[in-house]
Structure 1
């Protein structure tokens, strides 16, 4: 009990003033990101860049936020399109369209969703086929942050948060624990050389696992430049992560399954999830290199470090191998 209290005190920090901070959020028109933006504004944020794949959808989300909060021109919400997490060339063009006099104190890498299909899907890049969940949930974010830094758009001591998920350590009955016995096994999965039968939930879990490996390496390599935190608010209903499901299945998941899980205390609304993300972004929760999510065996609950829940999350050989893959793909 004492150890749990000390960990909680370590993960939850003092309030931060964000009224003078510049914030960038990818996937900003998604349900979870929209709720996060509303919470950030409620906490004093005045300058937010909404980085979206579709500028038109971003503008709709911006209007919803402004109308609901009644902030008018009190908050500078800029919408930038072109942030397609499956297309590094489009991401590069989008980064170049950012105001060159604007640098960011906080970056929230929230873009991504699950691939619901009967078999693995691939993104073609640099002559290679890469598993699509990993590409759009992690690699697109990696490229985004890399280009932000290369263009001197990240302030010293900035805070970078990537959306995590409890699937990185497994959820009994829902997502198998991602396990790779060797670096070669991880590489074969990423490049679709050798894979288990496709399960969308397990695949999203592996993508969140890769995000955790990335966070560990980023926290080590760039510890003197910025913080990198992997954070999950817990299982959330009504988000856009299910948008690739057929309409009826999506309706069933959001209106039946998640309703039941919410009543059972196993899921939460986007509003609650957004509040938690905002707390992490403004510095109330988490330190460099932390992987923070729900308690072991649960999909929602008190903020808990995830690393010990899956030994592969601290496997340095896997961390280094995944970083090597990223360098091979995106360093040129």
Structure 2
């Protein structure tokens, strides 16, 4: 008894912020240097009244046929930018999509490792017969939480959503998982205000970090060097552990899809782990870092490009806010 990814689609909002747009906002923005380092030329930005739930809904429409709606018996939404504090966005999507009330629904809050954790949950639900066909969604609109004068984060993050259909399959195509967390680094990527601990502050102090980037505690703060060090120190071992638990050698993996954080970090990881360039996905030029959506977007890209094909074994790895990280092997 097992599980498989049956279908993947993604939706990107119509609004865009390209390098020329960043140059207008930040006259000292070194377009060539930034594009070469982070590998991003353009990122999609949600509209003023466009929410993560709106993006998730549009992504879902791409994978659900009307005839299949009655077959979906669980909806899982991964987001850190919910439309409401409560209720669950997945419950709202059940009604909006016309999926039967017999389907379960839940949200979970996780960032760049969210797709891996979500796949693990899907596999658990399928193997225990809680569900037989799951609509798994990722959606985030980080742009709404980035301070206008935060050059660093505005150049990295983009908005987007994905929808995956995960189903029961007699041949297990979702391998074994390695999931990790280290809450001691919770403050390395954080929005301090807006929860129950610290209310939003209309007069929040403007702070400076990094290369003259500005932010307030109402907005996203990311300690880039610390996140980089966390990734470099933990992901190589994660890959080794994931290969071991799935009884595979690195050479037996056909393709590697990591969270598309930025070009510099991914290139460093690839070289450190020793992955051939032609077996490693690197494509965030026109999407930016879409948080929990980067891995399914990358899978969709790789399938369309022919980088992966039916029967291939693909190692997926996500890492970031939490701090959290995880990996698994899937078969296409």
Fold similarity call, TM over 0.5: no
Q: When you count helix as a share of all residues, which structure comes out higher?
A: 1
Q: When you count strand as a share of all residues, which structure comes out higher?
A: 2
TM-score of the superposed pair, with normalisation by structure 2: 0.30
TM-score of the superposed pair, with normalisation by structure 1: 0.30
**Of the two structures, which has the highest relative contact order with CA contacts closer than 8 Å and spacing of 6 or more?**
2
